Every structure is written in C-alpha cells, then in structure tokens.
Amino acid sequence: MRRNYISPEFVKSKIYGSYSSLEESNFYGSKMLEIEDSIDISNQNIIYYQNFNNEQIDVNVETSQSSVIYSSFDDKKANHTLTIDESQKDSQLKTNTRWFLDIDLKTILTDFIFANIKRARTFQGLTNNMVTSRDVNVFAKNYITKNVLDRYELTSIDLFVSYVDIKNGTTLQYDNTFDHKVGTESNRLVRFETNTFYDYSKTRIIFNQEQTSQDWAFKYYFNLNFTKI
C-alpha cells in the first residue's frame, strides 16, 4: 500500500463519559438521576462511607474506615445569617424588633442531595482519574448543580421561635441562638414574610419579635421544604 503522507486533521482517542457532568438530552432520551418528589430538610444526620480519596469502590473496605456524617443542622447553621433591620425606628428596635433571616438555599440543598447521593453510592466505581477535576466529590457537586437543582422549587419554610427571659442574666439582649430543639409545633411562627430569588438560590425571611426585646431574646430554627417541578 502506498503512503500518501497526508497527516490526519483529527486524532481520535477514547475518554471517560464522566469527563462532562452535564447530562445532554437527545431524541431517544438520556440517562438521568432519579430524584425524590419532595425534600424536607429538618434535622437529619446522613452517614456514608468512602475511601481516603473520596472514592466509593469497595463498600466492605470503606465501612471498616471512619464514616462521614452530614448534619443538616450544622449545614443550615453555617449557611444562614440573622441580622437586625437597620432601617427600623429606634422605638421598634427596643420592643418588637424586626429581623432579617437570610438563607443560602442553593448551598444547603446541594449539600443535602450530595450526602444522599454518597449514602446511596450513586457514583459507585467512579475514580478520581475518571473526572476532569480529579476529585469525584467535586464532580458529584457539579453534577447536582447542572442537572438536579433546577428540578426543585422551594415550597415552604417552617420557622420556629422560642423566647428566653433575659432578666435572669444568663442571656444578653439580641443574643439569639440557633437551636433545633425548638423545632416543635408549639413554637411555630406564622406571621413572617419571605422574599426568595427567582432561581431559589437564596431567600430572606422578615419577621418581628413578638415578645419585647427589652425582656426577651429567643432561640430559633427553620426547616426547608422543596418539591420536584
């Protein structure tokens, strides 16, 4: 056979399908992660196992190592802020203080889904060399961001408030505490306003203290409820 000495314009090489975390749909359909119809993030601990490289290869080996525990309480605590509305009048500040509770919905929902994916071992067998980030955990969170988050919407928030008498000197004025123990029906707060971003990435809860802040601080907690679109 004669050589034509024409170099090829393209080089074909095999790559892992996991190099892209975005699921592309086509006429014949595509694979997609099965997700729950609703997600309620209250006060769960989710336990899963992985090796020292964040991979899930052999469940028998990995369960002999230390477990990873995801705490929805810790996650919500780290991804919200409670601040005083600086625009309110001084008279209201000293009595029925108005508060802003800002919640990072995207981070909390991503972390919660990620923990469940790890518990279910959804990406069992996926190794770091099979993803461009060289970290299967980074790949999994990118997968959630690109394929799962926009399939959920925030449907409701449960807000709980329990007042603490500050006259005994153990609690300071405006010194409010995030505490899952107050998340009971008797402490449910009904009168509040929510302003949520159009993409459900963040929300702000606006509420007034129902007991005068001159005498009372409070403990508070919230649950997040999402529904599949």
Q: For 141-192, what is each residue's pLDDT tens digit? A: 999 999 999 999 999 999 999 999 998 877 899 999 999 999 999 999 999 9
- pLDDT on residue 31: 54
Question: Is 13 a residue whose pLDDT tops 60?
Answer: no
Question: Is 15 a residue whose pLDDT tops 60?
Answer: no
Q: Where are the alpha helices (DSSP H) in the chain?
A: 59-62, 72-78, 90-93, 105-120, 136-147
Question: Is 80 a residue whose pLDDT tops 60?
Answer: yes
Strands 152-165 and 202-208: unpaired
Question: Is 7 a residue whose pLDDT tops 70?
Answer: no
- pLDDT on residue 27: 43
- pLDDT on residue 170: 79
For the ranges 14-28, 74-88, 196-210, the lowest mean pLDDT is seen at 14-28
Question: Is 219 a residue whose pLDDT tops 70?
Answer: yes
- pLDDT on residue 57: 96
Which residue has 């403990």 as its token pair? 219
**Which structure tokens are listed for 91?**
């008279």
Residue 11 or 157, more confident: 157
Predicted confidence band at 35 (pLDDT cuts at 50, 70, 90)? Answer: confident
Q: Where are the alpha helices (DSSP H) in 51-120?
A: 59-62, 72-78, 90-93, 105-120
d(CA 63, CA 171): 43
For the ranges 4-13, 69-78, 149-158, 177-186, the lowest mean pLDDT is seen at 4-13
- pLDDT on residue 5: 61
Question: Is 24 a residue whose pLDDT tops 70?
Answer: no
100, 83 in Cβ contact below 8 A? yes
Question: Is 19 a residue whose pLDDT tops 60?
Answer: no
Question: Is 23 a residue whose pLDDT tops 70?
Answer: no
Question: Is 62 a residue whose pLDDT tops 90?
Answer: yes
Check the CA dihedral 67-70-73-79 and report its sign.
positive
Predicted confidence band at 20 (pLDDT cuts at 50, 70, 90)? Answer: low
